[in-house]
Amino acid sequence: MNLEITKATRQSYGEKLAELGEKNKDIVVLDADLSGATKTSIFAKKFPERFFDMGISEQDMMSTAAGLSTFGKIPFASSFAMFACRKSV
């Protein structure tokens, strides 16, 4: 492993989402008002029509992601674990 070229996991996550979005038009990204921190803003810039900022509402975001999946979309719901598990129950 070359430590000189490491990058933050969230940076890789954002970049990979954008790459996957180019390959599959059914991928949608939902974010809980954290797109700068989660790096989903990378996807949002390339595919604004498939990006949904749900605000500080993780419970709604998870429900919306589930609903989108029933219509053939592939949702990526993005937040920090401490918010997702606390607010989504």
For residue 85, pLDDT beyond 80: no
Query: Residue 23's pLDDT is what?
Result: 98
Whole-model pTM?
0.87
What are the chain's domains? Answer: 8-87 (3.40.50.970)
Q: Where are the alpha helices (DSSP H) in the chain?
A: 9-23, 35-38, 41-46, 58-69, 81-87
For residue 3, pLDDT beyond 90: no
For residue 2, pLDDT beyond 70: no
Q: Each residue of 16-67: pLDDT tens digit?
A: 999 999 999 999 999 999 999 999 999 999 999 999 999 998 989 999 999 9
Three-state SS at 63: helix
Query: Residue 1's pLDDT is what?
Result: 58
d(CA 28, CA 74): 6
For residue 87, pLDDT beyond 80: no
